[in-house]
Each structure stands twice: as C-alpha cells, then as structure tokens.
Amino acid sequence: MSGIKIGVIGGGPWGIALARAAARAGCSVTLFSRRAEKDGRLIQITDSYEEIAKNRFLIVAVPSDVVREVAHTLGDHLDGAHVVVHGIRGLGSDRLETISDIFREETPVRKLGALGGPVQADELHTGTASALVVGSYYPEVNTLFTKAFSGPWLRVYSTPDLRGLEWASAMVGCMAVGVGFAEAAGAGPGLLAALISRAVHDAGRIAVLAGAEEQTIYGLGGYGDLLASIAQGSRPEVVLGRALAAGKPLAQAIEEAKLRVEAVALIPRIIAFAKSRGVQAPAFEGLARMLEGERGEQILGKFFQA
C-alpha cells in the first residue's frame, strides 16, 4: 500500500478510472469534479481548486480544449513543490504546444509528466491487467507515479522523453482512427500491418521535427499503443473510424464515439506542421480524407499508389 496522497482533476471516464486505479493501489485520492458521484470511502470528491491543490501530486485528465483554462485557474493554487502528471492525448492550439508546455506557461510547476501507452479507462475501472508509460524529464516524477500506480494488475514503464511520449500519444490517437476505418473497410491482416507500419514511420519523422526522440514512437507509448488498438474495439478513436468507413458523416461518427476524440482537430494541424517543415505525411493525409468522407476503397487504393 503506497499511502501517497493524489489529487485527480477531471470527472470524465478517464479521470474517474485513474482515480480508482490509484485508490486500488493504496493511494489516498481526491477527485476534482463537478459531476462525479461519491465513491464511498475510497475517493473523496471536491469542486474546489484550492482543496485539490492541497495534494502535492496531481493527475490531470481533462479535454485538451479546456486544459489551458484549467491550468491557468489551478496555477493560482500551485507552487514549485507540486508534481503534475497529465493523461491527455491531445496537443494545444495551432502551435501544437504539448500539454506540459501549457502547464509550464500557466503554472509555477516544473516537475511535470505525461501518461501514454495502451491502457484504457475500462481496464483501469475493472483492474484488468494492462500497462502504461509515464514520461518526465525528472526521474523522481517517474518514480513517484510508478510507486503510486504499480500493482499486480498494472505494469508501469517510464521514459525521460516527455515530449516524445506526448507527441506519440497524440499521434497514436490519430492513427487509431485509421485502424478502425481500415478494419471496417475490409483491410486484411497484411494490409493493416502495412498501413500501421507506414503510419508509424510518418509519425516518427514528424516527432523528430517536434524535438522528440524517434525511438519513443517505436516503443510502448507509440507502436505498442497503436497495436493494442486493433483489439480495442470500444476505443473511441476506433469507433469513430469504423463509423466513417460505414459512410456516416463526421458529426454522427463523433456522436457514436461518445467520448471526445482529440484526433478530429489534431489531424489537419499535424499535416500543416509537417508541410511547413518540408516533410510529407501521406498516412496522415489519408486520415484527413477519412474525416472528409472519402470512401474506404479510394483511400486504400491511394495507399498502393503512394
């Protein structure tokens, strides 16, 4: 039992899952949420930033489009002694700043980290065996998270490449849309393997442009996470991709995914980023065509012409 005090910010399924996982590992957990129901003695609920900031170790699990607002407000209650780790797959605005960049800009916190890897909210809810990655420039951040969350049902790996893990998580979220689309469009194992390999290759080149280490894309936080999406039929990105392949309009596909899919806004930004630096990203351009409603056979056919 770790006995570590943790504050989790975000009352959606992912935030609640992280809070329950920490409580199951023996942490004392407070969840910041304005909508979550009380969870008995394991998790305390608050809607006060001042109260949640009494925990020196914070996990942030909010949508990327509100993260700057959350960080700005939370920053009034934080200092350099806090540790903040986020579990957000997206990147910032058109500048594509990472979530840790945003917290660095909006708060006095410097000991920052991020989560990645294949684990999903339902696995954390139920305690199903899985794995995730924590990344930070500070070894003590990785050590703290590992101590807080590791257990017989969850294996935690760590990396010093924080930027690489953040970009890997964001781009895997995009590529997982393609996995769902390709499967529903009739791609067999061989073609799916080729599509994934091509996409990861493109992602690696883009990540290097962003200042990440290419090897992070090929590790558990990148390639491993994407491979897991093949078997994660309920993953929101995969659900969205399948709906698009069925010919459903983007708005309906987003509704079927139920949870926010960061990839919808992120894919065109990543393409623009790559082009601005003279790098072609055909796999991501294919993802953009999926969002625009192009048919599966047309997109798969262009793959062979590329």
pLDDT digits (tens, 9 = 90+) for 107-166: 999 999 999 999 999 899 888 999 999 999 999 999 999 999 999 999 999 999 999 999
- Over the chain, what is the mean pLDDT? 92
Residue 27 has pLDDT above 60, yes or no: yes
**If we measure between CA atoms, which residue out of 6, 263, 51 comes closest to residue 149?**
6
Residues 142 and 17 in one domain: yes
Last residue of a domain, one of 160, 193, 224: 160
Residues 186 and 148 in one domain: no
> What does the pLDDT read at residue 260?
86
C-beta separation of 287 from 170 below 8 A: no
Residues 177 and 128 in one domain: no
Residues 147 and 224 in one domain: no
Spatial CB neighbours of 230, under 8 Å, sequence gap ≥ 6: 179, 183, 192
CA–CA dist 126, 163 (Å, integer): 30
Provide the domain limits for residue 146. 5-160
Q: Which amino acid is at 72?
A: H
Among 19-28, 89-98, 246-255, 290-299, where is mean pLDDT lowest? 290-299
Spatial CB neighbours of 96, under 8 Å, sequence gap ≥ 6: 210, 269, 270, 273
What pTM value is reported for the model? Answer: 0.93
| Percent of the chain topping pLDDT 90 | 83
CA–CA dist 31, 244 (Å, integer): 35
